[in-house]
A and B are shown apart, each in its own frame.
Chain A
Amino acid sequence: MVALDTAVAASTALDTRPPARRRGARAHFTQFKWLYLLLLPGAIYFALFRYGPMYGAVIAFKDYVPFLGINDSPWVGWAHFEDFFASPDFPRLLANTLILALLSLLVAFPLTIVVALLLNELRVTMVKRSVQTLIYIPHFLSWTVVASLTYLLFALDIGPLFQLINGVLGTNIDFLTDPGWFRPIIVLQDIWKNTGWGTIIFLAALAGVDQEQYEAAIIDGAGRFQRVWHITIPSIMPTIIVMLVLQMGQVLNTGFEQIYLMTNALNRSVADVFDTYVYFMGITQGSYSYSTAVGLFKAIVGVVLIFGANWLARRFNQTGIF
């Protein structure tokens, strides 16, 4: 299947002559032409769909008119950002986003570690495997399926959770539209979908804990709980910190799909976050420039948070995330 003429290409690919750069562009190109060709589709993809939008983000500083295009639309400077920071939407969005992030940090994150620790203490291998298999599954279901399940479970007419909770409380709460229940439901969905999946990384860290330390601890008469507290947890602390820091870098990224699917006219006051706001203002209302400014603000704060978090991780851990 290998043609004769390709022997030339093979010899150039293997040659030990000085680097191509010194032999001029032509030789350089001959040596790497196939690799450049293979790279091309991917390069076009990144230029078009990853860097194209970065260039397009300049409309945050313009009054984008679709008819004029990105280049010819007039500049307006920081006007959209000023509008956004001055609008009553800004504090509301910031609060909603931060509260959801904080809840997930305080509830979902520790829960993941607890489940991983419990799984690690489980000594019946078959049960351990089965439980792991089961709790990973929800991670692979779409947010539409999760939202649909939520709507059925909390439905006014047939929802079992609606009837159960209202039966116990003796009230009549419509969980899907009551703004007070929006956040608990979002956190609940998040726990159901992602806790199991999140344990993978901690279980890997737990598998790497030095077993001799446990032996020593047993000789010293340490009980099971003491061993977990004094050996297991300190041993996985670096992993915990890296994951915590990574999550802090993601604070402004409340998943668009999850929030969008659970948002309705009655819970908008607590449901609006940056991502869904960009969608509503940009796509449904056509304020392209304004919503791009909001998105850009979010993206830049996100980058600062990620690098800040990485810096923190390095301080705790010697190795950062990158």
Chain B
Amino acid sequence: MPREKYRFNTRAGRAFDVFNVVLLIAVGVLALLPFIFVTAGSFATEAELATRSFFLWPETFSLRAYESILTSDAFIRAMVTTIGVTVVGTVIQLLLTASMAYPLSKLNFPGRRVILALIVFTMVFSGGMIPTFLVVKDLGLLDTYWALILPMAINPFSLIIIKNFFQQLPAGLEESAMIDGANEMQTLWSVVLPLSKPVLATFALFYAVGIWNDFMSPLLYLNDSSMWTLQMFLRQVTVATDLSIVDADPSQLPPAQGIKFAVIVVATLPILLFYPFLQKHFAKGMLIGSVKG
């Protein structure tokens, strides 16, 4: 970048630079501050939480909150459920999306334009919450984990981006696989998919984040609280302040505030762990998405 050339070394220009750096660092810190506060709070004692209103480092260090949730059957169940649904759901979503994207990436595939138009239409118009709920209900999916996965199995945006990616792969590679005697299925599996690993990894992460964070589906489709996911559990504890769901060791009083902090941390942790991997790709992915298909 030949930026240096445009540098305006007047006093006002330099003052603005300093001001700008300070301001944006403040903005960056502000983005993270609530989370640091919660993490600090999750390691503090109840007494400290009750007396100090804001701190970024606990004076008295305690693991009581984490002990309480990790001995809570309901919490463990929610955690295991969420991990399971996220893993299975992501695999299903990815397989379905890639499998549908492949035929649509073939320019000679009959009906391609019509099918694409039908897909794009669903991005603009949908039947709505209640008719979707009734479909899920009529299929007998209420109170099953499939209800959290199948209704969102293909995201039209992702589908179109993956289709576009397949489309710009060099045609020669697929042709040579065909000449070697592979059928479309085999070509997709052993030529196209391996070449698309970075794109598929990006969408796997986005799909996984989507399922992990999903609150609406379990709210709509799971009546049975023993099936709840982490997001439902989190809402019950923090927003509804219902600690009875934690069902920790009854001989000890659970740390009422600490538990809220700890559950938030646990619900966020996987996102923060995967964030570096996600970050590598998303800016590019989002820009591809904004280019018309």
Question: A39 and B122: CB pair below 8 A?
Answer: no
Q: How far is the CB of B66 from chain A (nearest CB, A)?
A: 16
Chain A residue contacts of B102, Cβ below 8 A = 35, 38
What CA separation (Å) do A53 and B290 show in the bound complex?
27
Known contacts A38-B188, A70-B134; A159/B126 CB under 8 A: no
Q: Are A34 and B185 in contact (CB under 8 A)?
A: yes
Asked if A24 is at the interface (CB within 8 A of a chain B CB), the reply is no
Which residues of B lie under 8 Å from residue A10 when comparing CB positions? 178-183
The answer, among B5, B30, B125, B214, for a CB contact under 8 Å with A54, is: B125
Q: How far is the CA of A227 from the CA of B212 in the complex (A)?
A: 44
**Are the CB atoms of B28 and A204 closer together than 8 Å?**
no
Tell me if A137 and B24 are in contact (CB < 8 A): no
Greatest chain A CB density within 10 A among B12, B154, B178 is at B178
B105's nearest neighbour on chain A, judged by CB, is A35
Q: When chains A and B are docked, how far (Å) is the Cα of A133 from the Cα of B151?
A: 32
Query: Are A144 and B181 CB-contacts (below 8 A) given A127-B21, A223-B8?
Result: no
**In the complex the two chains form, is A55's CB within 8 Å of B264's CB?**
no
Between A9, A35, A133, A218, the greatest number of chain B beta carbons within 10 A of the residue's beta carbon is seen for A35
Q: Is the CB of A153 within 8 A of B34?
A: yes
Q: Are B215 and A149 in contact (CB under 8 A)?
A: no
B167 within 8 A of A: no
Interface string of A53-80 (1 = CB under 8 A from B): 1111101000000000010000000000
Please, how many residues of chain A have a CB less than 8 angstroms from a CB on the other chain? 105
* Chain A residues, CB < 8 A from B131: 52-57, 59, 292, 295
Asked if B267 contacts A144 (CB within 8 A), the reply is yes
A292 → chain B closest CB, angstroms:
5
Is A318 located at the chain interface by the 8 A CB criterion? no
Q: Mark B92-134, 1 if CB is under 8 A from A, else 0.
A: 0000110110111010011000010011101011111111111
Q: Which residues of B contact A57 (CB under 8 A)?
A: 127-128, 131
Q: How far is the CA of A204 from the CA of B3 in the complex (A)?
A: 16
B181 & A42 in contact (Cβ 8 Å cutoff): no
A166 CB to nearest B CB, Å: 11
Nearest residue (CB) in A for B92 is: A41
- Contact partner, A6, options B17, B23, B183, B287, Cβ 8 Å: B183
Contacting pair A142 B213 (CB below 8 A): yes
The answer to whether A257 and B215 touch across the interface, beta carbons within 8 angstroms, is yes
Nearest-neighbor residue (CB-CB) of A115 within chain B: B27
Q: Knowing A10-B182, A41-B96 touch, does A55 contact B268 (C-beta < 8 A)?
A: no
Q: Is the CB of B21 within 8 A of A42?
A: no
- Interchain CB contact under 8 A, A256 and B125: no
Contact status A148-B31, CB under 8 Å: no
With the chains together, A261 CA to B122 CA distance in Å?
A: 27
Q: Are A2 and B181 in contact (CB under 8 A)?
A: yes
> Which residues in window 257-293 of B have CB below 8 A to A?
257, 260-261, 263-264, 267-268, 271-272, 275, 278-279, 282-283, 286-287, 290, 292
User: Are B184 and A145 in contact (CB-based, < 8 A)?
Assistant: no
Q: Are B257 and A158 in contact (CB under 8 A)?
A: yes
Bound form: Cα–Cα A223–B263 in Å? 51
**Contacting residues, chain B, for A143 (C-beta < 8 A):** 213, 215
Interface-side segment among A83-91, A100-108, A117-125: A117-125
- In whole angstroms, how far apart are the Cα atoms of A295 and B128 in the complex? 6
Chain B residues within an 8 Å CB radius of A70: 134
Number of A-B contacts (CB under 8 A): 303
| Minimum Cβ distance to chain A for residue B13 (Å) | 6
Chain B residues lying within 8 Å of A124, measured Cβ to Cβ, are: 21
Q: Which residues of A contact B253 (CB under 8 A)?
A: none
* Nearest chain B CB to A209 CB, angstrom units: 12
- B247 lies within 8 A of chain A by Cβ: no
Q: How far is the CB of B114 from chain A (nearest CB, A)?
A: 12
Query: How far is B216's CA from A32's CA once the two chains are assembled, in angstroms?
Result: 39
Residue B61 lies at the interface, judged by CB distance under 8 Å to chain A: no
Is A268's beta carbon under 8 Å from chain B? no
Q: How far is the CA of A37 from the CA of B118 in the complex (A)?
A: 19
Do A151 and B24 touch across chains, with their CB atoms under 8 A apart? no
**If A144-B267, A152-B38, A159-B53 touch, does A9 touch B133 (CB 8 Å cutoff)?**
no
Q: Which of A36, A148, A201 has the most CB of B within 10 A?
A: A148
Q: Whole-angstrom distance from the CB of B5 to the nearest CB of chain A? A: 7
Residue of A4, A145, A147 most packed against chain B (CB within 10 A): A145
Docked-complex contact A131 and B178, CB < 8 angstroms: no
How near does chain A come to B78, taking the closest CB pair, in angstroms? 12
Indicate if the CB atoms of A257 and B216 lie closer than 8 Å: yes
Complex Cα distance A130/B26, Å?
12
Partner of A299, one of B16, B126, B235, B286: B126
Contact A224 B122 (CB under 8 A): no
Complex Cα distance A302/B53, Å?
Answer: 44
Additional 17 contacts, C-beta under 8 A, given A53-B134, A131-B24, A149-B35: A1-B190, A10-B182, A13-B178, A49-B153, A55-B127, A56-B131, A122-B24, A127-B24, A135-B31, A142-B214, A152-B41, A200-B283, A200-B287, A223-B12, A288-B130, A292-B131, A303-B124
11 A–B contacts, CB within 8 A, in A order: A36-B103, A42-B100, A46-B154, A49-B135, A123-B7, A124-B21, A158-B53, A200-B283, A224-B16, A256-B129, A282-B133
Q: Which 9 A-B pairs have the closest CB atoms?
A: A53-B127, A42-B100, A56-B131, A295-B128, A142-B213, A34-B184, A160-B54, A148-B238, A53-B131
